[in-house]
Every structure is written in C-alpha cells, then in structure tokens.
Amino acid sequence: MATATSTVKVLVLRAPGTNCDEETGFAFDAAGGHSDCVHINQLIETPQMINDYQILCLAGGFSYGDDIAAGRILASQMQSRLSDVIAEFHAAGKLILGICNGFQILIKSGFLLPKDQQGLPATLTWNESGRYLATWVDLKANSNKCVFLRGIDRMYLPIAHAEGKFVTRDQSVLQSLADNDQIALTYELSDDEPSPNGSVANLAGLCDSTGRIFGMMPHPERHIDPTHHPRWTRDGLAAEGDGMAIFRNAIGFFA
C-alpha cells in the first residue's frame, strides 16, 4: 500500500484529439480526489511535475486523431521523452490507468507490457468487424491482483472504439498473462454471443505484474451516475453507476 496522503492528486493527461479528459477528471474528483488535466507538451517541458501526483490517467479519445494508429503518436512521445519519469512514478508505488485510447497508449508504449527481444508481446488492433463500435457490454472482473478492480465482480459499461481487438504475439504470451493473473477484465458473453471486437480470451482489460498499471477498453467515466445507464427509466436507479467503483478504488488505495 502506498503512503497515505490527505488529498490524492490525479494527473489526467491530454493531447490533441483527447475527448474524455474532463469527464475522467470529474469522476476522480467525485471519488474524493483532485484532478488536473495536463497537456502532453506541458508534461514534456516540466516532467518533474508528475512527482506532485499519485495517479496518472491516460484518458479516452483519439489522441492526434489516431492518424497513424490508435494511440501510436502519443505512445511514441511518452516512450521517447517520459519513459524515465514514468518508470520512477510507477516504482514509487503509484497508479497508472489507461482508458480506451489510454489503454492503446499503454500497450504501444511498452509501459504496460514491456518489450522483449522480439518487440511488443501484444497489441490492440482493428476490431474483427473492421468498423468503429459503440455499444454497452457486460464485463467480468477476474484478477485478484488489479488494484482498480478490488471488490468488483461485474460491471455494465459502454465501449466506443475502432481498434480494441487485443491480440498476443503467440499463445505462450497469452498463457503467461493468464498464469500471472493479469487478464483483469473480460467481456461476459452468452454461449452463442461473439466477442464485440474479437479480442483473444475476450479480454477487455489488462494489468501489469504489480496490479498498479491497468488498461481497459470500456469507459468507466461514462457510467458514474445511475442515469447514465441506458435502461434506467425501465430498470430503476442504482445507487451509482458501475464505473464509479474503479475511481473509488484508485483514490482509496492511498487512503
């Protein structure tokens, strides 16, 4: 457990094209933290500012328009300019969360799954359908290791992505992730229901070996209020949206 602090500070990183930073910051604030939306150029110019924060969040959106590939440009910036400070941030016992585009960035930068002699062991690529997908999905939390999913069994959250298909280099990588309890979140499907994007093992979220870096394709910040649920007028209001628990877990980790 990390050192306690009176106010947990969250750095929500944004870049041109990011479109979920304010909603994500609001969710962290509602969970009891204090968030700041920080432009990537500001962090590159003053990398030591990250030391003032306990949580780094890479929000969803389309950083740099996904002009090369989803998250690739921002991932390259971070890997080339910020790899040392992010490694130090993580080594200090702090948390890193990547949502949708943020998950793509964490994967393609190697921060979540480090490169080996053969390169990146996994990636996120185009959906099996070859099209952008926006829908709501049932999810199952599987990992006892992931800090962000503590106490969570199931969630109902929206997804909105074109490149959310998780694939590994080979079966041995997938088996290693499973054996190490890193397949943190999966799409919960009926027997005849296909994976929404074709991900191997129906993977929707992945944590690193410490459980303190977590990337997920669904958007928890889009279901923090019960009225966000698409059927709230028919099913009634819950106490709060399913996604709120992820932000509470992150803030509570330092409490």
| Active-site annotation holds for 20 | no
> What is the chain's Cα-based Rg?
17
Task: Return the structure tokens found at 125.
Answer: 């690529």
Q: What angle do CA 71, 92, 60 make, to 5 degrees?
A: 20
Identify which of 30, 9, 31, 11 has the alpha carbon closest to the alpha carbon of residue 21.
Answer: 11
Task: Return the structure tokens found at 248.
Answer: 């509470």
Catalytic one of 20, 146, 207, 219: 219
Assign 210 to helix, strand or coil.
coil
Cα separation, 204 vs 186, in Å, equals 5
Distances (CA, A) of 58 to 3, 67, 198, 232, 251: 22, 18, 23, 29, 16
Catalytic one of 100, 146, 207, 228: 100
| Active-site annotation holds for 229 | no
Taking a C-beta distance cutoff of 8 angstroms, is the pair 206, 182 a contact? yes
Cα separation, 181 vs 207, in Å, equals 8
Element (H, E) at 167: strand 165-168
Cα separation, 192 vs 213, in Å, equals 32
Catalytic one of 161, 163, 221, 229: 221
| Active-site annotation holds for 88 | no
Cα separation, 34 vs 12, in Å, equals 10
**Catalytic annotation, residues:** 100, 219, 221
